[in-house]
Amino acid sequence: MEHLMAVILAAGEGKRMKSAKSKVVHEICGKALIEWVARSVLKAGIEDRVFVVGHKAEQVKECLGENIQYALQEVQLGTGHAVMQAERFLRGKEGQVVILCGDMPLIRPETIMKAVRLHRQSGNSATVITADLDNPAGYGRIVRDERGNVLKIVEHKDTNEEERNIREVNSGIYCFNIMDLLHSLKELGNSNSQGEYYLTDIMEIFVKKGLKVDAFKVEDSSEILGINDRVQLAEAAQVLRKRILEEHMRSGVTLVDPGSTYIDGDVEIGMDTVIYPGTILEGKTKIGENCILGPNSRLVDCVIGNDTEVANSVVIQSSVGSGTHIGPFAYIRPESSIGNKVKIGDFVEIKKSRIGDKTKISHLTYVGDAEVGKNVNLGCGVVVVNYDGRNKYKTVVEDNAFVGCNVNLISPVTVRSNAYIAAGSTIVGEVPENSLAIARSKQEIKEGWVIKKGLRRKE
């Protein structure tokens, strides 16, 4: 089978973004623009990929990683010039190369596959992906002859009045026969308004040589949306978010209000889960079946079991078991592990701690750097005092322990299994198994003290 590869152009400066970052590393739905393009190419079955980098190249490389083929375009002299920088990766290969822009995150893998299939079946030397736009301003126009054959692509700035009325536009995505492309790159010139080497001029060169040039027109014009500024970034995010939400709904997830729900591209959600308005699911979050999330919850890089509810809460880089209830207004910080059938109630904060099955931490409690066992009760206002101003220490509360309200556990400290701690205690030493710890002063009453001090309140 013929070799198939891709060259992804990511060297442009992107001045209209008005940013210190490379345009292609700006994110939508949890991934950089260039990552969405790379992902579509990979899903289309193209593993041999070359990324042409230039402006802010180090940022693009940091985004994509080191185990990637890179070509450097030190000076940006147009798309044709960018492809020239990747020539060494093309030489000696028989087959096709798909060329894409790194700022087109909406292109679908299926579209790439269909274009390559058409290219091969039709015996084309070049195939360009196109779309019809009601407002084609800014896009290169597809110029055809009277029989509908593609003659050339004319950049918008170089169009005449007749060409400006053409609605079929160039997406900037092409499939070329590698050998034909290599031979014709040498003939590219820069006699245009920009003084650049346009890859689009290859089409006219091919036609003059008698090579077959064709177009694959997409029905959904949003696929060819390129990102040049923050407005287009937001437009692309809206389109992509809609796709993601629809995919989850078709997979059995209920979204009470899709318009106020935000889900990143790598999030997995089990069927019969219900997501209420204002919920944000980010990163590689994985949600089980029959869960209830929200309203107004945020989960980042989390794993959530089945039948779990997270209400008005934040969970970050942590795991939560099945049948557990989180919130409202709870905060689960990174590196925490919450077991099955646990109750984490209102205004509870868990930081880098492990909470065992069936434990209840119902309200107004802070647990940091701790290991809490199974079936433990932490009363209202319990504080794990894990920081001495310089170092952080660990607290252990073993299975079946009961910690009363307003207790301070001064780390490092251990509360053994089945121990009880009286409300209002400050615990600084180990509490043995099956014992009761009381660490508070004896109540003292001074009769008439208010009158003697003249502090009696008047209405």
- Residues known to be catalytic: 363
Work out the end-to-end distance of the chain between its first and last CA atoms, rounded to an integer number of angstroms: 94
Strand residues in 94-182 grouped as ranges (E): 95-101, 126-132, 141-144, 150-154, 168-177
> 């059995």: which residue's tokens?
252
Distance separating alpha carbons of residues 82 and 342, to the nearest angstrom: 56
- Token pair of 18 as six digits: 């008005």
**What is the layout of strands, in order, in the sheet containing 319-320?**
268-269, 286-287, 303-304, 319-320, 337-338, 354-355, 370-372, 395-397, 413-415
For residue 243, CA distances in Å to 107, 176, 254, 295, 368 come to: 12, 29, 15, 22, 39
The per-type count for the chain, helices as H runs and strands as E runs, is: 10, 39
Q: Strands 168-177 and 426-427: what pairing?
A: unpaired
Length of the chain: 459
For residue 410, CA distances in Å to 309, 406, 432 come to: 31, 13, 16
Dihedral sign (CA 306, 43, 229, 247): negative
Interhelix angle 33-43/109-122, rounded to 10 degrees, is 50
Distance separating alpha carbons of residues 240 and 316, to the nearest angstrom: 24
